[in-house]
Amino acid sequence: MKAPAPLDAEFFCSACHTPFRNAMPLDSHGVCRACRAGLRGFDSASTFGFYEGTLRSLIHLFKYAGMRPLAGTLGGLMNRALPVDRQFDLVVPVPLHWRKSLERGFNQSELLARELARKRNLPLAKALRRKRAGSVQASLSLAERRRNVAGVFEVRSKRDIQNKRILLIDDVMTTGATASACATVLKRAGAKSVTLLTVARVDRRN
């Protein structure tokens, strides 16, 4: 297997790091339309690479073949993607519905969050809860995904996150709808900032 490749794109949003084919969707500050419209929920986002090739294979082995030790490898890649000078107070994983955790035996985002917490010497809090499962998102458009995840997440304990700079962890970002929904409830409950960190993101350029 080739080493997983870090994300490489000529044009991307300076806030959410969404890659684009050209500079057209970006304003003079390099910010995309979704970020300008405040649709993101999170303040910024970082990712290691695109969800393809070796990286995709590693995530599949980790998530679906239950190769838990890969959390260390993937967590290392995530740590590399996060600017060293960024300060955080708390690491929070995107929650799975309990039924899914039970089926899989673990929440992949939580294992990754533990790696990041250890590497950055930060506390971890399972501050979010998924109230209902939400239907499968794979075939949905961005607007449908937003509706699908709206109201799905809630904050367990507001006290844990008040005024905190939160590092929100998920494995893969597709449209960002799930992360936006999580970030929105965290902000509403008093979080100072929310930065999303994922191993990979789906390349939606076409």
The site for Zn ion (CB under 5 A) is made up of: 13, 15-16, 32, 35
CA distance 48 to 150: 27
Minimum distance from residue 30 beta carbon to Zn ion (Å): 9
Choose between 58 and 172: whose C-beta lies nearer to Zn ion: 172
| 85 Cβ contact list (under 8 Å, min separation 6) | none
Total residue length of the chain: 206
Least CB distance to Zn ion at residue 64 (A): 30
Nearer to Zn ion, 42 or 62 (CB): 42
What are the residues facing 130 on neighbouring strands?
153
Cα gap 127→90, rounded to integer Å? 10
Shorter beta-carbon distance to Zn ion: residue 16 or 70: 16
Please say which residue, 46 or 107, places its beta carbon nearer to Zn ion.
46
Per the listing, tokens 């005024």 go with: 163
Q: Find the shortest distance in angstroms from Cβ 47 to Zn ion.
A: 12
The CB-of-67 to Zn ion minimum distance in angstroms stands at: 32
Query: Exposed/middle/buried for 24, CB within 10 Å: 0-12, 13-18, 19+?
Result: exposed
